[in-house]
Amino acid sequence: MHIGITNRILPLFVLLALAAPFAIAQNTPAPAPAPQPQQPDQTAPDSGGPAGDNGNIALPKKKDQPADTAPAPPAPAEPKVRPPEGLTNIPALRITVPEVTVDVGVVLEKTHQFVPNLKPANFKVYEDGVEQKVIGFKRVEAPITVLLVCEFASTNYNFIYDMRNAAWAFAQQLHPQDYVAMMTFDMRTQIITDFTQDKRQLLEAINMLRIPGFSERNLFDAVYEAEDRLSRIEGRKYIVLIASGRDTFSKITYDKILQKVKNTPDISIFTVSTGGAMRAMTEGSGGLRGGMRDIDYLQADNEMKTFAKYTGGNSYFPRFVGEMPDIFEDINHNIRSKYELVYHPLNTKTDGTYRKLRVELVDDEGHALQFQDEKHKPLKYDTVYRDGYRAKPEVE
Question: What is the Cα–Cα distance from 325 to 312, expressed in whole angstroms?
Answer: 21
Tally the C-alpha atoms within 13 A of residue 329's C-alpha that lie toward its C-beta: 8
Q: Beta strands of 221-316 (E only): which ranges?
A: 237-243, 267-273, 315-316
The strand order across the sheet containing 237-243 reads 189-196, 179-185, 145-151, 237-243, 267-273, 315-316
Q: What does each of the 396 residues of the chain score in pLDDT, given as a tens digit?
A: 444 444 444 454 444 445 444 444 444 454 555 555 555 455 545 544 455 444 554 545 555 555 555 566 676 665 665 656 655 555 554 545 688 999 898 888 776 678 888 999 999 999 999 999 999 999 887 789 999 999 999 888 899 999 999 999 999 999 999 999 999 999 999 999 999 999 999 999 999 998 898 999 999 999 999 999 999 998 789 999 999 999 999 999 999 999 999 889 889 999 999 999 999 998 888 888 888 999 999 999 999 999 998 888 899 999 999 999 999 998 988 888 889 999 999 998 888 899 999 999 999 999 999 998 888 889 999 888 888 888 888 764
Contact present, 134 and 343 (Cβ < 8 Å): yes
* Domain residue spans of the chain: 95-141+339-396, 142-336
Residue 134 has φ and ψ, to the nearest 5°, of -80, 120
The pLDDT assigned to 305 comes to 95
Give me the pLDDT at residue 163, please.
Answer: 96
Residues 164, 176 contacting (CB under 8 angstroms): no
Return the bridge partners of 105, or none.
384
The residues near 243 (Cβ < 8 Å, ≥ 6 apart) are 149, 150, 151, 163, 217, 219, 271, 272, 273, 274, 304
pLDDT of residue 69: 54
Neighbours of 271 (CB within 10 A): 27
pLDDT of residue 14: 46
pLDDT of residue 86: 57
- Residue 47: predicted pLDDT: 47
From residue 356, alpha-carbon distances to 134, 353, 389, 396 in Å are 16, 10, 7, 21
Degrees to nearest 5, angle at CA 198 with 192 and 203: 50
Q: CA 234 → CA 231, 265, 266, distances in Å?
A: 7, 10, 9
- Taking alpha carbons only, the member of 388, 311, 357 closest to residue 147 is 311
C-alpha distance across the termini of the chain, in Å: 155
Distance CA 157, CA 163 (A): 10
Q: Could you give the residue ranges of the DSSP H alpha helices within 283-361?
A: 287-310, 324-336
CATH topology of domain 142-336: Rossmann fold (3.40.50)
Query: Cβ(196)–Cβ(205) under 8 Å?
Result: no
Residue type, 255: D
Q: Which of 143, 362, 129 is nearest to 235 (CA)?
A: 143
Q: Which helix (H) or strand (E) holds 182?
A: strand 179-185
3-state DSSP assignment of residue 263: helix
pTM value surpassing 0.85: no
> Cα–Cα distance between 288 and 290 in angstroms, integer?
5
Residues making up the chain, counted from first to last: 396
Report the C-alpha gap between 307 and 239 in whole angstroms.
Answer: 10
